């Protein structure tokens, strides 16, 4: 029985679901994912489960909102004057755009509404405040040198 250890690189397929079971992401869209265990690339709960899996095995990991993408923060929903945005591409609901937080760190904003004078944008992760479940399949293990 070969299972991965810290430092090993694993290839996984996944299905990401909201708490209500709605599928919001999977490897059919994104392709198989390569993860080096212990590098902090994924949630610790997923790393923990992967270290006990064999190639070909499947497991589900439920992660509560506070341990996943964090709570939804209403102060991250902001109004941006249209004149502060570039003319092209024209803002559309659902569009992601890069901004800079007050501390200078990068921030992704998701446009919620587009008005004549103001665009409403949300700096929360789209799954903030949501419990999520990852259905995982371990496809390959590349052991660390």
Instruction: Give residue-wise pLDDT tens across range 26-46.
Output: 998 888 999 999 999 999 999
CATH number of 74-122: 2.40.10.330
Q: List, in sequence order, every residue forming a beta bridge with 110; answer none if it has no partner.
A: 96, 122
Q: What is the chain's mean pLDDT, rounded?
A: 93
**Rounded CA gap, 105 and 27, in Å?**
29
**Rounded CA gap, 87 and 133, in Å?**
39
Q: What's the pTM value of the predicted model, to 2 decimals?
A: 0.81
pLDDT at residue 58 greater than cutoff 90: yes
- Mean local confidence (pLDDT), 67-74: 95
- Residue ranges per domain, the chain? 9-69+127-142, 74-122
pLDDT at residue 145 greater than cutoff 80: no
Query: CATH: 3.40.50.2300, 3.10.50.40, 3.10.20.30, 3.40.109.10. Which one for 9-69+127-142?
Result: 3.10.50.40
Asked, colleague to colleague, whether 9-69+127-142 and 74-122 share their fold, the answer is: no
pLDDT 10s digits, 1-27: 689 999 999 999 999 999 999 999 999
**Rounded CA gap, 138 and 58, in Å?**
7
């Amino acid at each position: 029985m070969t299972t991965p250890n810290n430092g090993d690189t694993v290839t996984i397929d996944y299905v990401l679901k909201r708490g209500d079971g709605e599928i919001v992401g999977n490897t059919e869209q994104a392709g198989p994912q390569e993860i080096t265990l212990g590098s902090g690339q994924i949630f610790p709960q997923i790393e923990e489960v992967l270290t006990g899996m064999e190639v070909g095995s499947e497991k589900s990991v439920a992660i509560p909102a506070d341990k996943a993408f964090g709570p939804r923060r209403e102060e991250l929903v902001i109004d941006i004057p249209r004149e502060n945005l570039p003319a092209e591409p024209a803002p559309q609901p659902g569009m992601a755009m890069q901004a800079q937080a007050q501390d200078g760190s990068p921030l992704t904003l998701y446009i919620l509404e587009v008005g004549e004078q103001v665009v409403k944008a949300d700096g929360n992760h789209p799954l903030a405040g949501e419990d999520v479940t990852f259905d995982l399949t371990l496809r390959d293990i590349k052991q660390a040198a």
